[in-house]
Structure formats: C-alpha cells, structure tokens
Chain A
Amino acid sequence: MNRRFRFSFPRTVFFIVGITLLALGLSACAAPSVAPTVLSGVTGNHKAELIFKTAVIVGDNDIIVKVNDAATGEPLRHSDVRLKVEKRVRLETVSNDHDNPATKDHETAKVDPHASAKVESHDDVKKKDDHDADAGHDKETLIAGSIAGEYVGQLNLPESGEWLVTVHFMVEGAEKEAAFPVTANRDWGKFAVLSGFLSVNVAIVTAAAITKSKFVKSAKQKETRA
C-alpha cells in the first residue's frame, strides 16, 4: 500500500487523455452557444427577422436581417435596410417576447455613443471605415447578402445588459421599422475554450517532463544490456 506512484508511458497516455477530456469537456460546457439567436416579428405587411449567428455577446456580433412579405413569404429585395442600436434604461416597458418585436418607445431607450452596427456582406467587399461605424449615432446600412431578402452586417454591443436594436427598411417609398430587445452577455466561453487548450498542452508538456528522466534511464539500461 505504501508503493510510490510512478509514471509509465501507458499511465502518461492515460493521464493526458484524462486531462484532455476533462479540459475539453469543461470548455465545451462554458463555450458560447453556437445555435443562432432568432428574433422575429411582423410590422405592417412584412415579417422582419433579426438573426444573430450565435448567442448575443458583448463585442462584435454577426447578424442577418431577413425581411419577407408576411402573407406571401416573398423576400423584400433591393431595400434600404438600416440598423440602430440603443441602450435600454427602463426594461419594464419593453416586451421581451421574441416573437413580437417591441413597439419602439423612445422614452425607454437612449443612444449609446459606443454601440455600433458595421457593414458586412458576402458579395460586397468594400471596406467600411470602422471609425464611422463606431460613432454609433446614425443608422447603419446593411448590405444585401447572397440570398434574396437577406441583409448582413455586424453589430457591436460594447457592454453587457439590455439593448434595443431597431431595424428600419423601406417598402415602396415608406419607412417601416421593427425594434428588437436583446440582452448581451460577456463571452466567457471563448476564454474557457482557450484555457482548455492551454491546460491540455501544459499537461502534455508536464507529463513529458516528469516521465522524461525515467524513460531516458530505462533506455540507457536497455542499451547497456544490449
């Protein structure tokens, strides 16, 4: 019972596999949701959808805005789609029902000078000056994606908390708008995944360092015997 634990090669492999599974398992638990966040609602005759490619996080978010005719499902093509981001201050007055966009209430939201929506597109490669986008006061234009009725862009939410994202789009010369309340959380998952990788690699190097002298010694003994 008093035997000292010794590292052997199979034990080292077992140790590394164990640490790897543990670290990657923990990382996966903490990883950000990869499922898209879909918010939708009807405004007038049109159904607007605001899609975040993952969970809504603090920092840059990839977004897609889809606008279709509510009755026929026909996509709204060649529209001027703009986005406005505001920090919400009175949460209780805004509906949290994701299926119905909140009625925009100017008293419940204020413009945050740090929030921004940046332009991004699959088929347009013009580089947007980040400095313009960072101002965040004006509505930012989204650009048509590769699928009809889809407009893509990037939304920057500089801090955690409740935000109001308003989508403005033009239909036959008239401006329509749909507001979506969102909650941004810090993306700790990213750091958890990185920590997982780091700990796996540190574990491998540590295991190799611990078992190195033993392996070298036994290799020398084999050599001497030979």
Chain B
Amino acid sequence: MIQIEPRQPVTVAATTPTNNLLKHKPVGDFLRSRWYPGIFQWPTALVFAVIVYELLLGPIVAHNNLGTALTWVLWWPVIPILFVVLGRFWCAICPFGTVSDVVQKFVGHHRPVPMFLKKYGIWIIDALFILITWSDHVLGIVESPWGSGMLLLLLTTGVVVTGAFFERRTWCRYLCFLGGLSGNYARTGMLALRATPNICAQCKVSACYKGSAHAPGCPMFEFPRTMTTNAQCNICGDCIKSCPNDSIRLTLRPPTQELWFIRKPKLEEAFLAIVIMGIVFIQNITMLEVWQSTLRGLENLTGTKSYAVNFTITFLIAMLIPIILLGVTALLAKKLNGDSLAQNFAKFGYAIIPLDVAGHVAHNLFHLLAEGKAVIFTALAFMGQVVPEASPAIVGNATIQILQFVLIALGVGGSLYAAYRIAHSNYGGGKTWATLIPYTILIVVLGGVNIWLFILPMAMRM
C-alpha cells in the first residue's frame, strides 16, 4: 500500500449545514425509520428469487428468459448509473447482502475477519473480477440462463459461508467482485455520507462503529468519524440511526469530486481501475460483428480452434494494453514530477475511473436501449401472456451511438479534470502541467479506443 500525503489540505464534500439532506425532515425521518432500507431490500430480494428461479428452471434460451433480461439487459447497464447518482446504495439493498444478514442473524458466529482478507481483500476482488469476466466468455455465462444461475448460486454459497462465520458484511467488503467495482465507481458518486469532525471529537461511545440499541454498527467496517471516501459506504443508514450526537451528514456533491482529493492512493485500487478499462475493451471486442472473423484469424495464427485458448490470448492482450499504457505513462510522469513509478500509477489510476464508468455505461447502453423491451416481452411470457411480435429496441442504433459518444466525451472530460486536480493537489506550479501532459495523452487514447469500438457494429445479447 502506498501512502502519500497531499500537499494541499484535504477537502471533502461541501458540508455546509444547508446542503445536509438529513436536515430535510422527510429525508431525515425516512433514513432514520425502521423501514429503511428494508422497504427497498425485501422487494429486491423477491425479484432476485424470481430471477434465480427463471435462470435455473425457466426457458433455456437467453432470448426467452426473464432472469437473463432482468439481470443482463436491465440491472447490469443500470447499476453503474446508480453508483454515480447514489454511491454504493445498491450494496445496502443487494439480495446477497440480505442473505448474509439473515444467515448471520440466526446462526452467525460473528468471528473477526481473517487477516489475509484484510490484507489482500482488494487483490482477491481484482482476481475474482478478472476470473469471472474470463469464465463468462469461455463458459458463456451471460448467454446461458443456466450458467448465470450457477454463478448466482456460487456467489450465494460464498455469502452464506461468510455470513454464517464472520462478522458484519465480510463478503461485501472483502470478497464481492461487484463490491470492488462499486467501490471504485462510488467514488464518482454524487451522494456523500460523512461525520462532522467537531462533533465526533467529543464522542466517547463510537456508536456508529460499535452499534447501539437503535441499529448495529457499520456493516462495512467503516468508522464514519474518519471516513473520507464513498468507496465502502453503502448508505444503509445504520450510523445515522445509532449516532447519539446527530453528527452524520448526507450531502450532494459534483460527480467525481472525491477523485480530486485521494488522501491515500492504493496501488490495488488503481490497478482495479485500469483493469476495468481492459474489461470494458474485452466486452466491446467480443460483441463486435468483426469478432468472429478476428477469431478465425487467431485460429489460423495459433493453429488451434479451441475458443478457450484463442479467447484467453485476446483477453490477456486486451487486459494488458491499458495496464501497460498506464505503466508507461507513469514512467514518463516519474521523470517529470519526481514521484516513483508506483506512486504515479497509484495516484493517477484513480483518474481513469470516470472513463471506466462512461465506457461501462456506454457499452451497456447498447443492451439497455437496443434490447430493453425484451424485459417486457419476457415478463409477459413469464406471466403466461401473449408476447407481441416486435423489435426489443427502445431507440434506434444511431441514437444509441450518439449517446455513447456523449458519454465517452463526458468520461474523458471527467478523467482529464480528475488528473488535473490530482496533479495540482500533489505538485502545484509547473509540475502540474508537466505531469498532466502524458496522462492527458493516455486518457485521450483510451477514450479514442472506446469511440472506435462503438463505431463498429455490435451484436445483441438477447
């Protein structure tokens, strides 16, 4: 882990009392009520049950399966947008979290989290994320309802084990691959929960961490008093309910603001950020219509028709390109700002996150808008209704492409501005601009590759 103290004082989300959403009575009362977050959590769990049932026992073809449509056409494209708007709120209502809570309530041992998880948790998440993406392509998880169902069952088993034996939400914090993704994306989130340092300085009970009669301690192992990031806060409201001093504030802030002031950049988080860019590339490449001909070319080159072998080669190249590009850029920047390669990699890896989010949303926008009606069609079929013979597209391809370009432009803008702020807060003066040059080139190149991939025709998921 690399710890770098910034030159300038850290500024977290704007925290004047007027923008504290908890001061608005309906919002404050709702978040403090016993109904929150259960009012969202239980319906989500019900939908999850339907999804699992459909994936495992419903139609075997993705095209007709409600579980596939709800998971891969609706949820997966919408989830990054949720992270940008509401931070990790999804994690508070995630059905896996609910399963963990229920198992823990009845049979939980509440053992301390093993040290290796605390130490290597994010690396495990990085590895799981890469492994799941790879196996999705090789085993066809998304395309097969049964495969998607198996993935959910495997995750459920992991959640049951951690819920049964370990304290709080060990799974969500240290093992969930989506948690790693959401942790990174939530840094761009517009909703920030923080404590008021002046009030917390007088506190002797630490109810936000330990829990109180009103609510348990933070399920994500966070201590709001010292929390400076959205990465692990799922806005479950427990600290709001437990705090006897009314210290917790919920504020709105500009998207990506948190990235401008990363206090302790971590190499593993920066690595995940750049790995996500590679994953966005591979998701795009394999859905392009030219993928099949590329695969034929690879088969001729490698002399094997094994999809696993040829895909793995493509996968490794697509994953390594952004990592190498960031590494080379960090090497150049090292000469300009005097920081080490690792420090540069760790600090500026965070600047890629807005482009990650934009690339992820833009890619999945195609599925959401070109196949969105499949959710309605499969739901009708699930309820035994006649399915209309119509295109599942909500808007045309031209409109989707324009939206994709706009999103990538926003992502490039967000990343460039984050890189500028990171450089400015760490170096200042002439070094800021000198450092910014290689990172600007990197971000523009990554944005350009995304745009190029979106120009090529793409195949459908459903």
Contact = CB atoms under 8 A, between A and B. Distances in A.
B388 interface: yes
Contacts of A131: 386
Contact of B381 (A130, A190, A208): A130
B136 to A, nearest CB: 16
A25 to B, nearest CB: 15
B459 A122 contact: yes
Contacts of B107: 205, 208-209, 212
B165 interface: yes
Interface in B310-332: none
B157 interface: yes
A207 B164 CA distance: 9
A125 B392 contact: yes
A199 to B, nearest CB: 11
A16 B161 contact: yes
Contacts of A193: 150
A193 B152 CA distance: 13
Interface stretch (B58-66, B85-93, B184-192, B222-230): B58-66
Contact of A197 (B108, B153, B161): B153
Interface string B366-399: 0000010010010001000011111111000000
A127 interface: yes
Contact of A208 (B165, B371, B388, B393): B165
B407 interface: no
A123 interface: yes
Contacts of B391: 125-126
Given A16-B161, A127-B392, A194 B63 contact: no
Contacts of A129: 386-387, 389
A213 to B, nearest CB: 10
B459 A146 contact: yes
B164 A154 contact: no
Contacts of B156: 197, 201
Given A125-B371, A129-B389, A130-B381, A194 B462 contact: no
Interface in A141-168: 146-147, 154
A77 to B, nearest CB: 15
Contact of A125 (B60, B63, B386): B63
B157 A200 contact: yes
A215 B459 contact: no
B47 interface: no
A211 interface: yes
Interface string B59-86: 1110110000000000000000000000
Contacts of A125: 63, 371, 374, 391-393, 460, 462
A28 interface: no
Contacts of B292: 146-147
**A-B pairs, 7 with minimum CB distance:** A208-B164, A208-B107, A209-B107, A197-B153, A60-B60, A215-B109, A201-B160
18 contacts: A61-B60, A118-B61, A123-B460, A125-B391, A127-B387, A127-B388, A146-B459, A194-B56, A197-B153, A197-B157, A201-B156, A201-B160, A208-B108, A209-B106, A209-B107, A212-B107, A212-B109, A215-B111
